[in-house]
Chains A and B, each alone.
Chain A
Amino acid sequence: MNRKLFVASAAALLAGCDSTKNALNENQGVKDVLHLAQAWNHAAIGTHGMAKLYAESDIDRNYPTNGDPTPTDPEYQGLVKERFRSYKLAVSGLVERPQTFDLARLRTLASLTQITRHDCVEGWSVVGKWTGIPLHAFLSLVRPKPEARYVVFYSFDRDENLQQFYGSIDVRQAAHPQTMLALDLNGAPVDPDHGGPVRLRIPTQLAYKSTKWVQRIELVDSFKRIYGGHGGYWEDQGYEWYAGI
């Protein structure tokens, strides 16, 4: 196996052979080794400091969207039609007070407005003004149990294979003062294309961690048993769980 890999690597380097490069990219053993760097990145960079704050004049009114536009999920479409009047955000899992929040209650909790930069993994970035609930303040209402290690966000959105979008962050990232459940973008309720009525905003990591169209939240001690087991939809597609880089 190792000799085969070595020969394949040498061939790829010498001949620039596309199929060999692509095969190495898909080899599970190679992937497992390469993914070690994620833990090194997490240890070296981690969750420290505060994302830069911007001025009103930096705001881009044409905030781009990426990935899916408005979800076609029937439940979500029904909520859009009645302007999210019956939307309820359920919090469950390793919490002492599992409960649901309607939009009116969530709005009374919104206390944070910050103009931050959204860094897409593709390489572009955009500045927007977000208003919402600091996640640490929100979680204090449901009282996470000591064994809770990750906060999982399930989205209304599904891909073409009907796989649900979801994402997760650790309690350290959840406690970061700039991590928020966003309700408003640039002074108006977050529209359906940008993840409304409730989306996550994590300005200290790449934006694929900021789950859109949050349907429910679950606190867990491990995400290994959730869907692909990598802690998120994008992570199950091969992106790193730690997205500070």
Chain B
Amino acid sequence: MKRHSVVVRLTHWFGALALILLVMSGFAIFNAAPYLDASDYSNPAHRVLAMGSIDGPNGSHIGVVDVFGHRIRTTHLLGYTDDGQGGEATRGFPGWITWPAYQDLAGARVWHFFFGWIMVLAGTIYLVFGSFRKELALLIVRPSDFPKMWPMQAYYLRLRKDPPPHGKYNPLQKAGYTVVIFVLAPFVVVTGLALSPGVDAFAGPLTTLLGGRQFARTWHFAATIALVIFTLGHVFLVASTGVINNMRSMTLGTYRLGKNEGTGE
């Protein structure tokens, strides 16, 4: 049967590409000031996260991450990591995960803003089209989904043979997608804007509501990490619940229904 319309499939893959580039260029931008404050203007007394290096024995370097006052040694992983050009240096995120690999704030910003627009555009088209076609209604979580959440979780944990009867999306999918599409994704956009001086000038209360400029930067980072965790879970579930069937539904559009799966709400 047909599962995803061509607009959903296209916006999904443009969004996926944009998300990868936004996260990677975002890590590169973070590296220019690899610390986060829970304050309006920079204030080391309100530092919640900092990455850097300390001197080790015999002129070596030890990468460290200070998170809520706790120091973790992270050499080669964070703080003192690959510099994207074959060496190692004091920098927050390693070159293999930043975009570009070497440290170039100007370049990273240009990628970040371009794909920020691609993401917002893809998200807007998806939402408008999904509302118009009433497809979006199928994945919004409803009170009637709550009693089915534990049975669904039990099925995922192999404590139950079959999933509870459900529509196009199961109750846990609905909960996850609802939070990501209507809470997390808009929050990332808003926090990214709120940390910008030009936006703060005409939307000051928004920046203030988030705790100030540096706090908005911290929220932007935290929400990104949450989105990354969601995406890793999403990819894991795609791979572990019938990867060919799932990938076909998001590329060619067709899908074979499983037991107790429906097409409605």
Report which A residues bind B (CB closer than 8 A). Answer: 13, 16, 18-19, 21-22, 24-26, 31, 33-38, 40-41, 45-52, 58, 60, 117, 119-127, 203-206, 234, 237-240, 243-245
Contact = CB atoms under 8 A, between A and B. Distances in A.
Given A34-B111, A124-B33, A239-B106, A244 B198 contact: yes
A38 B96 CA distance: 27
B76 interface: no
Interface residues of B, number: 43
B197 interface: yes
29 contacts: A18-B96, A22-B84, A22-B101, A22-B102, A31-B110, A34-B111, A35-B114, A38-B113, A45-B196, A47-B198, A48-B202, A49-B203, A50-B201, A58-B40, A119-B197, A120-B33, A125-B41, A125-B213, A125-B214, A204-B197, A206-B197, A238-B107, A238-B110, A239-B106, A240-B110, A240-B113, A243-B197, A243-B198, A244-B199
Given A49-B204, A238-B107, A34 B114 contact: yes
A37 B114 contact: yes
B145 to A, nearest CB: 35
B174 interface: no
Given A21-B99, A120-B33, A37 B117 contact: yes
Given A16-B96, A52-B204, A123-B217, A245 B104 contact: no
Contact of A245 (B85, B101, B196): B196
Nearest to A18: B101
Given A25-B104, A51-B197, A120-B33, A127 B41 contact: yes
Contacts of B89: none
Contacts of A25: 99-100, 104, 107, 111
Given A117-B197, A125-B42, 19 more contacts: A13-B17, A16-B97, A18-B85, A22-B84, A25-B99, A25-B111, A47-B201, A117-B41, A123-B30, A123-B217, A125-B40, A125-B214, A126-B41, A127-B41, A234-B106, A244-B198, A245-B113, A245-B193, A245-B197
A18 B96 CA distance: 6
B95 interface: yes
A51 B201 contact: yes
Given A52-B204, A206-B197, A239-B106, A13 B20 contact: yes
A123 B29 contact: yes
Contacts of A206: 197
B253 interface: no
A201 to B, nearest CB: 12
Given A25-B100, A126-B41, A18 B109 contact: no
Q: Which of A33, A238, A240 has the largest number of chain B CB atoms within 10 A? A: A238
Interface in B11-37: 17, 20, 29-30, 32-33
B114 A36 contact: yes
A104 to B, nearest CB: 33
B105 interface: yes
A50 B203 CA distance: 9
B199 A45 contact: yes
A220 B97 CA distance: 43
A154 to B, nearest CB: 21
Nearest to A46: B198
Interface in B108-138: 109-111, 113-114, 116-117
B101 A21 contact: yes
Closest 7 CB pairs of A and B: A244-B198, A49-B202, A123-B33, A238-B106, A18-B101, A25-B100, A49-B201
Q: Which of B20, B41, B99 has the largest number of chain A CB atoms within 10 A? A: B41
Q: Which of B29, B105, B109, B204 has the largest number of chain A CB atoms within 10 A? A: B109
Contacts of A51: 197, 200-201
Contacts of B104: 25, 238
A236 B192 CA distance: 25
A33 B111 CA distance: 10
A126 B101 CA distance: 29
Interface in B177-228: 193, 196-204, 207, 213-214, 217
A21 B97 CA distance: 10
Q: Which of B111, B193, B198 has the largest number of chain A CB atoms within 10 A? A: B198
A36 to B, nearest CB: 7
A180 B29 CA distance: 28
Given A34-B110, A52-B204, A40 B196 contact: no
Nearest to B116: A37
A237 B106 CA distance: 8
A119 B107 contact: no
Nearest to B221: A123
